[in-house]
Amino acid sequence: MDNIHIAVAGASGRMGQLIIQQVLASSQTTLSGATVSCTSPLNEEPLTRLFSNAPEDIILTSNVAGAFKDAQVIIDFTAPETLQTHLDVALREKIGLVIGTTGLSKEQFQMLEKASLTIPILYSANFSLGINLLMEMVKEASKKLGVAFDVELLEMHHRHKQDAPSGTALALARAAAEGRNLTLQEKAIYDRTRQRQSRHENEIGFAVLRGGSVIGDHSVIFASDEEVVEFSHRALKRELYAKGALRAALWLANQKPGYYKFSDILTSSEKNTVS
């Protein structure tokens, strides 16, 4: 089987570098391009400036079209404002797109869904296997515990994270809401400081902490008058997200156009095991 050609957006960022390490180390992939911002001091510099084992012909560039043209899949963990540019190239060249960028707007998600009619797109707020399994558990627990258990989300990340709540916290809360046939938009409470009132039934509250170098801690708390049930996940190494992104790219390279989630990879793996 031929190697899957992968391009990485935001190659000089923390996640970009970790993803490139995974791509270079894998026997199943070939790095075909890597982008940086036009203001980066590494723009138009060889990738060997960052990785001694990188192919000498790979140049870090802000020329998105040039960096992506030979790719089968693009991995994008950059910023919401770069999504349109990356998506335009992916659509024009018919390239699959793995997106781990958080903080996307409702309009941007609608844009992705429309584009998925033409190319395969996989979006996930978190590429951790544990978190994605946790989402399924939270959904089931929310359904079975029922309205007697209040739902609260607690998350903490490093001091540099800009979006709040985190995309993962929102995804976990959305799973809890779906378990009760609710919509998060109607039940989410992001701030209890502006209005003095008791908690309403089926509210889903958020508490957000930022500090230090915490990679990502998430807890979903179900609290009744008699007991508290808590689901927690702690990321110990940022590499786990890069490994998950590579797994997603390898899987997406063989998919038809569509809008996919990380859970689709897990489902297909279960089917292959059964068969």
CB 100 within 8 A of CB 77: yes
If you write DSSP's letter for every residue of 119-172 in order, what string do you get? Answer: SEEEE-S---HHHHHHHHHHHHHHHHH-TTSEEEEEEEE-TT--SSS-HHHHHH
**Cβ contact 149:224 at 8 Å:** yes
Structure tokens at 217: 């801690």
Query: Does 218 participate in catalysis according to the annotation?
Result: no
The conformation of residue 213, written as its DSSP 8-state character, comes to T
Rounded Cα distance, 200 and 256, in Å: 43
Per-residue tokens: 256 = 């038809």
SS3 97: strand
Q: Are 87 and 111 in contact (CB under 8 A)?
A: yes
Strand partners, 78: none
Q: Which of 139, 157, 187, 243 is catalytic?
A: 157
Query: What's the Cα-to-Cα distance from 272 to each of 65, 147, 193, 265, rounded to whole Å?
Result: 36, 37, 49, 11
**Which one of 5, 69, 158, 161 is the catalytic residue?**
161
Is 161 a known active-site residue?
yes
- Residues with a known catalytic role: 157, 161
